[in-house]
């Protein structure tokens, strides 16, 4: 009798098993891979039993990443995350430059070569090369902002998912630079230009080869280009040069992204971006030399 009583006392005082991540939670369920006890919050259903968070992460790391036909990694979660971030950044920059710090735009707008009221030289030709990129954050009016952001919202998610986030951001940024470069090369050097139109037109330009590669109807894209070309050449104060520069840049990158051989895809993609940037640099240097000679 005494031996039975001692065993009962031991059973009664033994601590119940708890989740290894939440030690205050009692649990009797174990991970099928590592055998650790896990509470309901930490359980991920598997084909057999459940897995703990660490085992799930390890399995995800070892699993081959799914890629699109164009080689982009399939985005996990929100497929329009980068598009939303770019829209948010542009909207925030607009309100900052318009209502919080109105003089900010003068330091960021695309301008080639000009004198300030105090006689100071400003512009890309004076070495302010950031002005090739930063105009994408500025817009001349609320309508201008809304048109570009709506265009980005309609075009961005498809391209972001087709290309992957890295290639999509590259297309947007390099397209913006290409648009600014042509505006700088052909435009009046002391007239500023702002807006994300160059980057948006890069997306449009990339859609043509990408649609052809995916056997999609390119006619809506061509109609969009024609309509925007009519507006660009007929409506005053629209920088058609930035539109054209972005369109050409996007078409070249889109061609490389869409038709690169699978076994040399990364090499071709990176090479295309480098070549485009070198061409842009040559255009910028030539224009700078012409303005400062």
* Dihedral class, residue 71 (left if φ above 0, else alpha if ψ from -120 to 50, else beta): left
Q: Which of 27, 51, 197, 269 is catalytic?
A: 197
Catalytic residue check, 193: no
User: Are the C-beta atoms of 253 and 174 separated by less than 8 Å?
Assistant: yes
Regarding beta strands 121-122 and 114-115, do their DSSP bridges make them parallel or antiparallel, or are they unpaired? Answer: antiparallel
Helix (H) or strand (E) holding 181: helix 165-186
Distance CA(222)–CA(207), nearest Å, equals 10
User: Are the C-beta atoms of 196 and 139 separated by less than 8 Å?
Assistant: yes
Distance CA(124)–CA(119), nearest Å, equals 16
Q: What are all long-range contacts of 236-239, with beta carbons under 8 Å and residues at least 24 apart?
A: 237/140, 239/183, 239/187, 239/193, 239/195, 239/197
Non-local (6+) Cβ contacts of 117 within 8 A are: none
Q: What is the DSSP letter of 17?
A: P
Helix (H) or strand (E) holding 220: helix 219-234
Q: Which of 51, 139, 144, 243 is catalytic?
A: 243
User: Are the C-beta atoms of 152 and 230 separated by less than 8 Å?
Assistant: no
Non-local (6+) Cβ contacts of 262 within 8 A are: 71
Catalytic residue check, 197: yes
Catalytic residue ranges: 197, 243
């Amino acid at each position: 009798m005494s031996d039975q009583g001692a065993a009962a006392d031991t059973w009664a005082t033994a601590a119940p098993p708890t989740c290894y991540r939440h030690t205050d939670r009692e649990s009797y369920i174990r991970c099928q891979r590592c055998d650790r006890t896990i509470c309901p919050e930490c359980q991920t259903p598997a084909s057999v039993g459940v897995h703990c968070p660490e085992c799930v992460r390890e399995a995800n790391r070892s699993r081959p990443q799914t890629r699109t036909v164009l080689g982009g990694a399939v985005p996990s979660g929100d497929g329009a995350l980068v598009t939303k971030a770019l829209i948010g950044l542009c909207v925030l920059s607009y309100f900052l430059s318009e209502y919080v710090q109105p003089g900010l735009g003068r330091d960021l707008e695309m301008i080639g070569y000009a004198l300030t009221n105090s006689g100071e030289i400003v512009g890309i030709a004076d070495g302010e090369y950031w002005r090739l990129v930063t105009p994408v954050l500025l817009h001349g009016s609320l309508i201008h902002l809304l048109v570009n952001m709506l265009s980005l919202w309609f075009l961005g998610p498809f391209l972001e998912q087709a290309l992957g986030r890295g290639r999509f951001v590259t297309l947007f940024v390099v397209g913006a630079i290409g648009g600014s470069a042509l505006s700088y090369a052909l435009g009046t050097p002391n007239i500023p230009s702002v807006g994300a139109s160059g980057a948006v037109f890069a997306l449009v330009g990339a859609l043509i080869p990408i649609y052809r590669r995916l056997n999609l109807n390119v006619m809506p894209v061509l109609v969009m280009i024609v309509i925007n070309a009519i507006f660009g050449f007929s409506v005053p104060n629209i920088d058609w040069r930035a539109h054209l520069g972005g369109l050409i840049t996007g078409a070249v990158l889109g061609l490389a992204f869409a038709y690169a051989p699978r076994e040399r895809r990364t090499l071709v993609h990176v090479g295309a971006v480098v070549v485009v940037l070198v061409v842009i640099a040559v255009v910028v240097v030539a224009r700078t030399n012409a303005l400062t000679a």
